[in-house]
């Protein structure tokens, strides 16, 4: 994957090491290096970032501690870096060295190389402080393959300052996708996208290894609530490119 010109992201299982290879592929756009076709992100980043900012209220304050878990190397972390510089936040970016090397440096930026949650305890790492806002966007589906999702929740909560929030954003929800494609609107969307009259193929009771569904997200919410936090499963604005099949999970520490 470090040299392939054409990669079928739907057919590739990605994790921390796979993204390290994508990050150095000279044939891919910044969107391709984080596992997205250009059409899913190009021209949408400003709207996506506005939604992120609305769900992490600490970003609008001044002088807060902010953590981005798995920022990648496209434009969302660049927007976050610019916002943190304006608001005088201290921003920590946790990702592979290959991804971090492609992001700009700045007085507010502290780059930490490593995976989450395994890299939390590294010397000089992210566990040295607590955070008012934690962002983990389009990443939970990969953490789900590499780590226990309850451990992911527990680790994020330990990093939260009182009053802080973590946004696990842009989560592919297999249950939500099935509900959408079972609807008249979803079937019309499928016909328009494929150019064919066939209805989408649905397997309501299939075991989908490695995919997040309602049960996973509700379990993560209950885990956070049992740890004394509030947890909310919320939609994305309808105009975002994958809102019909993705959810956002917000956890807030009182």
* Residue 97 within a domain: yes
Q: Predicted confidence band at 135 (pLDDT cuts at 50, 70, 90)?
A: very high
Instruction: Convert the chain into a string of H (helix), E (strand) and C (coil).
Output: CCCCCCCCHHHCCCCHHHHHHHHCCCCCCCCHHHCCCHHHHCCCHHHHHHHHHHHCHHHHCCCCEEEEECCCCCCHHHHHHHHHHHHCCEEEEEECHHHHCCCCCCCCEEEEECCCCCCCCCCCCHHHCCEEEEEEECCHHHHHHHCCHHHHHHHHHHHEEEEEEEEEEEEECHHHHHHHHHCHHHHHHHHHHHCCCCCCCCCCCCCCCCCCCHHHHHHHHHHHHHCCCEEEEECCCCCCCCCCCEEEEEEECC
Using a pLDDT cut of 90, give the percent of the chain over it.
65
* Residue 85 within a domain: yes
State the pLDDT at residue 13. 74
pTM of the model: 0.91
* Residue 223 within a domain: yes
Taking residues 58-86, report their average pLDDT: 97
* Residue 137 within a domain: yes
pLDDT at 36 over 70: yes
* Residue 163 within a domain: yes
pLDDT at 249 over 80: yes
How far is 114 from 96, CA to CA, in rounded Å? 6
Residues 6+ apart with CB under 8 A from 203: none
Number of separate domains in the chain: 1
Cis peptide before 117 (omega within 30 of 0): yes
Least confident of 18-32, 103-117, 158-172, 193-207: 193-207
Taking residues 3-12, report their average pLDDT: 66
Taking residues 130-149, report their average pLDDT: 94
Least confident of 28-32, 132-136, 221-225, 248-252: 28-32
Q: Predicted confidence band at 123 (pLDDT cuts at 50, 70, 90)?
A: low
* Residue 90 within a domain: yes
Q: Predicted confidence band at 1 (pLDDT cuts at 50, 70, 90)?
A: low
| pLDDT per residue as tens digits for the range 81-98 | 999 999 999 999 999 999
| pLDDT per residue as tens digits for the range 155-204 | 999 999 999 999 999 999 999 989 888 888 878 776 777 778 877 777 77
Which CATH number characterizes residue 225's domain? Answer: 3.40.50.150
User: To which residue do tokens 């992001």 refer?
Assistant: 103
* Residue 158 within a domain: yes
* Residue 29 within a domain: no
- Give the domain extent around 227: 41-173+212-252
Query: For residues 25 and 99, which has the higher predicted lDDT (pLDDT)?
Result: 99
Q: Predicted confidence band at 2 (pLDDT cuts at 50, 70, 90)?
A: low
């Amino acid at each position: 994957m470090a040299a392939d010109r054409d990669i079928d992201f739907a057919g590739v299982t990605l994790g921390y090491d796979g993204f390290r290879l994508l990050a150095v592929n000279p044939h891919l756009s910044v969107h391709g290096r984080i596992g997205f076709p250009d059409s899913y992100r190009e021209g949408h980043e400003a709207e996506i970032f506005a939604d992120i900012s609305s769900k992490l209220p600490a970003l609008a304050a001044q002088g807060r501690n902010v953590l981005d878990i798995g920022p990648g190397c496209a434009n969302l972390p660049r927007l976050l870096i610019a916002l943190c510089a304006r608001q005088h936040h201290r921003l920590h970016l946790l990702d592979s060295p290959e991804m971090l090397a492609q992001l700009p440096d700045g007085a507010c930026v502290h780059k930490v190389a490593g995976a989450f949650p395994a890299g939390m305890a590294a010397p000089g790492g992210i566990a040295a402080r607590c955070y008012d806002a934690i962002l983990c966007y389009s990443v939970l589906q990969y953490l789900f393959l590499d780590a226990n999702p309850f451990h992911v929740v527990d680790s994020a909560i330990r990093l939260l300052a009182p009053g802080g929030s973590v946004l696990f954003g842009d989560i592919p929800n297999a249950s939500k996708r099935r509900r959408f494609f079972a609807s008249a609107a979803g079937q019309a969307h499928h016909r328009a996208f494929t150019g064919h009259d066939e209805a989408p193929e649905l397997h309501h009771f299939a075991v989908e290894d490695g995919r997040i569904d309602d049960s996973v997200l509700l379990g993560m919410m209950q885990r956070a609530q049992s740890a004394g936090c509030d947890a909310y499963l919320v939609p994305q604005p309808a105009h975002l490119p994958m809102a019909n099949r993705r959810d956002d999970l917000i956890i807030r520490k009182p």
